[in-house]
């Protein structure tokens, strides 16, 4: 609703009291919308409350032309952008060094767990020089909660040493340099490029791989080939946000085991609709985007997320 609409309506009935009430109603509605955004993506809840999308669901796109595929893929991304206007990297970081370390630590654990661990790590070892010269046992102790802590200690200390020895203690902003760092593959490199350097990158993580296969954007299974195939469907400038939208959707609605199809806002565009629960009420119970009552895994989320009504996730075990 536009800001002026209720005022116009009030003018039509020419009563100041009605005018006042209409303005008040808008304010209430707006507050409710913000509150709603804090607990559920707008479109997703509409899908739950409205008629099940089964009737309008897309048939698997047999012999879909290249143009039709590009159109469908971009439409899915546009819809997801509306559902998750606050999509962002879910690792807390303040500089490229923190992001590259946090991304390496995020293997086989949740971003929330990493966000709870990195403040202690960076307080003690704020620079690559500090971490490179650390006592490995002390680092292991700090990283223990993230799992695979010995291997992760080796990786983050190794990459810190490489940063100091080869790049003057700075994280390089080029793909070909990043992938030379120990423990840094293309996925981590693109996370860093896209989010710390503002250079477009596609993050092919487990969610991304699963969802693009479900949507039949590509039948490739190798992450590098998926990255190339999906990258070719979108303008380069969309890559970073596309990755966030897809990963947000995979974490919250289109889960690996039980996708919540009956509560999915892009069901009409999805050839895999029905792979998960289609009953709207049952599907609603599968939604996982709420964490302690609010979506998100960051302890220090970006302002855009807070502006959209999101709140930082509480510490693990709280609430
Ligand atoms: S939840 Fe179901 S309908 Fe939605 S994208 Fe995943 S498989 Fe498709």
Closest CA to 128 of 149, 103, 97, 102: 97
Range of the domain at 107: 96-307
Q: What pLDDT score was predicted for residue 303?
A: 76
Q: Domain count for the chain, please give it.
A: 1
Q: What pLDDT score was predicted for residue 175?
A: 95
Ligand 1 atom nearest 276 alpha carbon: 2
CA distance 239 to 111: 21
95-108 CB burial, b ≥16 within 10 A, e <16:
ebbbbbbbbbbbbe
Q: What pLDDT score was predicted for residue 313?
A: 55
Pocket test for ligand 1, best of 44, 251, 266 (most atoms within 8 A of CB): 266
254 is in an annotated binding site: yes
Find the radius of gyration of the CA atoms of the chain.
22
Q: What pLDDT score was predicted for residue 289?
A: 56
| Residue 258, domain member (yes or no) | yes
| Residue 204, domain member (yes or no) | yes
Q: What pLDDT score was predicted for residue 270?
A: 95
Q: What pLDDT score was predicted for residue 158?
A: 97
Cβ distance 251 to 241 under 8 Å?
no
SS3 assignment, position 48: helix
Mean pLDDT, consecutive 10-residue stretches, the chain (319 aa), reads 38 41 40 36 41 48 88 96 85 95 93 93 98 98 97 96 97 96 92 93 93 96 95 96 93 92 94 95 78 59 71 45
264 is in an annotated binding site: yes
Token readout for 45 is: 């809840």
Ligand 1 atom nearest 267 alpha carbon: 3
Active-site residue 307, yes or no?
Answer: no
Cβ distance 116 to 316 under 8 Å?
yes
SS3 assignment, position 255: coil
Ligand 1 atom nearest 273 alpha carbon: 3
Q: What pLDDT score was predicted for residue 287?
A: 81
Ligand 1: does its nearest atom lie under 6 Å from the Cβ of 270?
yes
Pocket test for ligand 1, best of 272, 282, 289 (most atoms within 8 A of CB): 272
CATH number at residue 190: 1.10.340.30
| Residue 109, domain member (yes or no) | yes
| Residue 69, domain member (yes or no) | no
Ligand 1: does its nearest atom lie under 6 Å from the Cβ of 273?
yes
Token readout for 269 is: 């565009």
The H helix count followed by the E strand count for the chain is 16, 2
Ligand 1: does its nearest atom lie under 6 Å from the Cβ of 265?
no
| Residue 49, domain member (yes or no) | no
Active-site residue 222, yes or no?
Answer: no
| Residue 74, domain member (yes or no) | no
| Residue 67, domain member (yes or no) | no
| Residue 128, domain member (yes or no) | yes
Phi and psi at 19, nearest 5°, equal -55, -45
């Amino acid at each position: 609703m536009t800001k002026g609409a209720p005022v116009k309506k009030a003018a039509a009935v020419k009563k100041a009291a009605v005018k006042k009430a209409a303005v008040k109603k808008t304010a209430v509605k707006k507050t409710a919308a913000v509150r709603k955004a804090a607990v559920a993506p707008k479109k997703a809840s509409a899908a739950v409350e409205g008629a099940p999308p089964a009737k309008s669901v897309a048939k698997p796109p047999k012999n879909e032309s290249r143009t039709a595929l590009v159109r469908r893929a971009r439409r899915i991304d546009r819809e997801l952008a509306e559902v998750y206007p606050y999509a962002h990297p879910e690792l807390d970081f303040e500089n490229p060094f923190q992001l590259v370390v946090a991304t390496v630590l995020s293997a086989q654990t949740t971003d929330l767990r990493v966000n709870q661990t990195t403040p202690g790590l960076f307080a003690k070892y704020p620079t690559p020089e500090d971490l490179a010269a650390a006592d490995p046992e002390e680092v292991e102790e700090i990283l223990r909660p993230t799992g695979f802590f010995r291997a992760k200690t080796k990786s983050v200390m190794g990459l810190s040493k490489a940063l100091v020895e080869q790049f003057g203690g700075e994280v390089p902003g080029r793909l070909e340099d990043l992938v030379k760092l120990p423990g840094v593959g293309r996925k981590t490199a693109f996370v860093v490029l896209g989010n710390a350097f503002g250079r477009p990158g596609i993050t092919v993580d487990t969610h991304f791989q699963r969802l693009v296969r479900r949507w039949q954007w590509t039948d490739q299974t190798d992450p590098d080939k998926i990255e190339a195939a999906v990258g070719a469907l979108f303008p380069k400038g969309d890559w970073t946000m596309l990755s966030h939208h897809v990963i947000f959707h995979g974490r919250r609605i289109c889960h690996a085991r039980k996708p919540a199809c009956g509560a999915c806002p892009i069901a009409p565009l999805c050839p895999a609709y029905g792979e998960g629960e289609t009953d709207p009420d049952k599907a609603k119970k599968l939604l996982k985007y709420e964490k302690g009552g609010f979506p998100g895994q960051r302890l220090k989320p970006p302002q855009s997320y807070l502006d959209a009504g999101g709140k930082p996730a509480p510490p693990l075990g709280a609430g």
